[in-house]
Chains A and B, each alone.
Chain A
Amino acid sequence: MFDRIYIEEAVRDLPMTRKLIERFPKAEQIACERYGEVFNPKRQNFRAQKRNPALILAEKKGNRVLPTPPDYGLGADHHFYFSHMLNCLYDCRYCFLQGMYQSANYLLFVNFDDFIEDIRSEIDAHPGERCFFFSGYDCDSLAMDSVTGFVDRFLPLFSDLPTASLELRTKSVNTASLLKREPIENVVTAFSLNPEPVAEALEHKAPSVDARLAAINKLASAGWKIGLRFDPLIYFKDAVDVYQDFIDRVFNTVPMDAVHSVTLGAFRSPKTIFKKMESLYPEEPLFMGNLQLQGGMISYAGAIEDELIGTISDRILGFVNRDRFFPCQ
């Protein structure tokens, strides 16, 4: 899976590091003082690295758990996000990670205990209030779970903390570590979904839509809460019709009582990140037309975005109540 593992000095002797080194005995081990030496230098080509990414094992220092921007939430009193890993197994053409980081190597922060302690501190700092934690902001929460062991380490924390919730954001069908345990009421597995033409053209290496829907149903049948994330909506000829049919199909497949929340957002990106994505994939039609720059953000031209969000919101609201629906405009 990896032919190189970069190991930061600070984590060389952690049990998780040793386990991973044993797990990939053929990988060359390359020592570094700080992960930034490998991950951050400017003269790197994300697209080229994506062909053969290495694993970097490092320690996350400083702010590990951060508040989300004010308009990004699911109705709790406080919302936070954290990233135990940067970069993803999949290669979605619209993914902001490729515009955000210089390197496509998988950077795994192995000091999980520090993350867990920080999550606990946030919960302790807000007694009696509901705190929602998003994982999978800079990676897919489940895609590499068999390597990271993320679910096994983080979920027990939430089963003991009824005022806190955790979102696992994913396109993965790698749900074994969830299915082997009893469902936890305050853990939401949120699947990103797009209709087949979009998934096939833009969500490279991700499981098919059918496979994702099957995974959703398995989890729902086992009693797990599901999030449905129609984000980012992609504009193309006939997009509205295709998305409306897709919404019908999803809601006719997924049992409604398992649905925790539904979110919706059209493709958008800060200008600097967009420019970098565009320069990596200059031949990609997604980055070429029907877009506008407004307030430092690139998004679809107003009328296109309004139509996409408006018609698809209406369709979704035919299936779920407003209190479970969180469109992002």
Chain B
Amino acid sequence: MIHFATALHCEANPVIHFYGMKPCGQLGKARFFKGETARLVVTGVGSIASAIGVTSLGERYSEPNALWLNLGICGHPSLYIGDALIASSIRSEAAKERFFPQFPIATPWRGQEVRTLASPSSQYQPGVAFDMEAYGFYSAALAFTTVEYAHCIKIVSDNEAQPANAPLDKSLISDHIETHIQSIDTFAGQILDTLGTTEFSESLAALQKRALSKFRFAETQRHQFTERLRKLNALEPETEFDTTLQAPDTKALLNALQVQIDQLASTQVC
């Protein structure tokens, strides 16, 4: 699942269209959209609005294996308008801490420092992209994921040759985002592939259900029980463990599972 955050509707529209998303609510300024493989929040402009929007999206949809992407426009002294870049460090004029996103795969875009400002600026600095959301996005996204799975992808909308001038050309911004959406999706797919997910096999899910209705587990035992099932799921997902349900009590049940794990592990370590 990809969780997008954009500041503006014109940045969001190509993404909404690409992933076939539908509106699914709002909270304050934040507008939510969802599709089968991606969700999006339009946060409004600014670092704080971005942080609030990201937090709302993360709290609304608990998704431990999401990739978080901030997609939007930036100013850069020398890159061409329409070029894409990815933040390799993120700082804010308002905070001391800096973020260093990490990349489990090579990225198709050049990495650049992204500096989040409170207002647009044409005082460009060499090798630095200016935006207004990345820092807020990033600090909020890290409540839900790690630095490998939160990234800021920025499209250059102004540079020294063509400095920012209001009002924004919204349809041009949408066009720029649309140009890059396919490569963003490919990149996202490759990163998401690095996250493994496992669900319990049918037989273990059934065992879990029957055991939970048959035995009264203390909290720690319940945790141990789930952990042992998880291990069995990795070792021998399709094996029937029904005989373990004949155990007289939870302690005996947990021991019986551990014996199975010890045996299976010793044959599968190598």
A residues at B contact (CB < 8 Å): 3-4, 6, 28, 30, 32, 37-38, 41, 43-45, 48-49, 51-52, 54, 103, 105, 197-198, 200-202, 234-237, 282-283, 285-286, 288-290
Residue of A nearest to B105 (CB): A52
A30 with B261: CB separation less than 8 A:
no
Measured CB to CB, the closest approach of chain B to A184, in angstroms, equals: 36
Residue of A nearest to B98 (CB): A37
Residue of A nearest to B100 (CB): A38
B146 with A289: CB separation less than 8 A:
no
Measured CB to CB, the closest approach of chain B to A208, in angstroms, equals: 14
Residue of B nearest to A201 (CB): B270
Q: A30-B88, A282-B230, A283-B198 are in contact. Are A289 and B100 (CB under 8 A)?
A: no
8 Å CB contact of A285 from B149, B230, B268:
B268
B265 with A48: CB separation less than 8 A:
no
Query: Which residues from B are CB-within-8-Å of A52?
Result: 103-106
Measured CB to CB, the closest approach of chain A to B15, in angstroms, equals: 24
Whether B194 is near chain A, meaning CB under 8 Å from some CB there, is yes
A30 with B106: CB separation less than 8 A:
no
Using an 8 Å CB-CB cutoff, how does the interface string of B35-63 with A read, 1 for contact, 0 for none? Answer: 00000000000000000000000000000
Using an 8 Å CB-CB cutoff, how does the interface string of B1-35 with A read, 1 for contact, 0 for none? Answer: 00000000000000000000000000000000000
B111 with A4: CB separation less than 8 A:
yes
B262 with A290: CB separation less than 8 A:
yes
B103 with A41: CB separation less than 8 A:
no
A234 with B103: CB separation less than 8 A:
no
B104 with A49: CB separation less than 8 A:
yes
Starting from the known contacts A45-B146, A236-B269, A285-B234, 8 additional A-B residue pairs (CB-CB under 8 Å) come to: A3-B103, A28-B110, A45-B147, A48-B102, A48-B148, A103-B102, A236-B266, A289-B258
Whether B165 is near chain A, meaning CB under 8 Å from some CB there, is no
Q: A201-B269, A285-B264, A289-B261 are in contact. Are A32 and B142 (CB under 8 A)?
A: no
Query: Which residues from A are CB-within-8-Å of B110?
Result: 28
A234 with B102: CB separation less than 8 A:
no
Using an 8 Å CB-CB cutoff, how does the interface string of B143-179 with A read, 1 for contact, 0 for none? Answer: 0011111000000000000000000000000000000
What CA separation (Å) do A51 and B196 show in the bound complex? 13
B270 with A43: CB separation less than 8 A:
no
Whether B213 is near chain A, meaning CB under 8 Å from some CB there, is no
Residue of A nearest to B89 (CB): A30
10 contacts between A and B (CB under 8 A): A6-B100, A48-B195, A201-B270, A202-B270, A234-B269, A234-B270, A237-B267, A286-B265, A288-B231, A289-B265
A49 with B102: CB separation less than 8 A:
yes
Q: A43-B146, A48-B102 are in contact. Are A288 and B265 (CB under 8 A)?
A: yes
Measured CB to CB, the closest approach of chain A to B259, in angstroms, equals: 9
Q: A48-B149, A285-B269 are in contact. Are A32 and B106 (CB under 8 A)?
A: no
A236 with B270: CB separation less than 8 A:
yes
Residue of A nearest to B228 (CB): A288
B100 with A49: CB separation less than 8 A:
no
Whether B235 is near chain A, meaning CB under 8 Å from some CB there, is yes
B261 with A288: CB separation less than 8 A:
yes
What CA separation (Å) do A202 and B265 show in the bound complex? 14
Q: A45-B146, A51-B104 are in contact. Are A237 and B196 (CB under 8 A)?
A: no
What CA separation (Å) do A200 and B268 show in the bound complex? 12
Measured CB to CB, the closest approach of chain B to A170, in angstroms, equals: 21
Query: Which residues from B are CB-within-8-Å of A200?
Result: 270
B102 with A28: CB separation less than 8 A:
no
What CA separation (Å) do A37 and B100 show in the bound complex? 8
What CA separation (Å) do A212 and B215 show in the bound complex? 53
A45 with B265: CB separation less than 8 A:
no
Residues of B99-148 at the interface with A, using a CB-CB cut-off of 8 Å, are 100, 102-107, 110-111, 113, 142, 145-148
What CA separation (Å) do A103 and B100 show in the bound complex? 12
Measured CB to CB, the closest approach of chain B to A286, in angstroms, equals: 5
Measured CB to CB, the closest approach of chain B to A93, in angstroms, equals: 9
Residue of B nearest to A27 (CB): B111
Measured CB to CB, the closest approach of chain A to B113, in angstroms, equals: 8
A285 with B103: CB separation less than 8 A:
no
Measured CB to CB, the closest approach of chain B to A92, in angstroms, equals: 12
A290 with B265: CB separation less than 8 A:
yes
Measured CB to CB, the closest approach of chain A to B42, in angstroms, equals: 25
What CA separation (Å) do A105 and B88 show in the bound complex? 14
Using an 8 Å CB-CB cutoff, how does the interface string of B77-103 with A read, 1 for contact, 0 for none? Answer: 000000000001100000000101011
Measured CB to CB, the closest approach of chain B to A146, in angstroms, equals: 21
Interface centre among A3, A37, A235, A289 (most CB of B within 10 A): A289
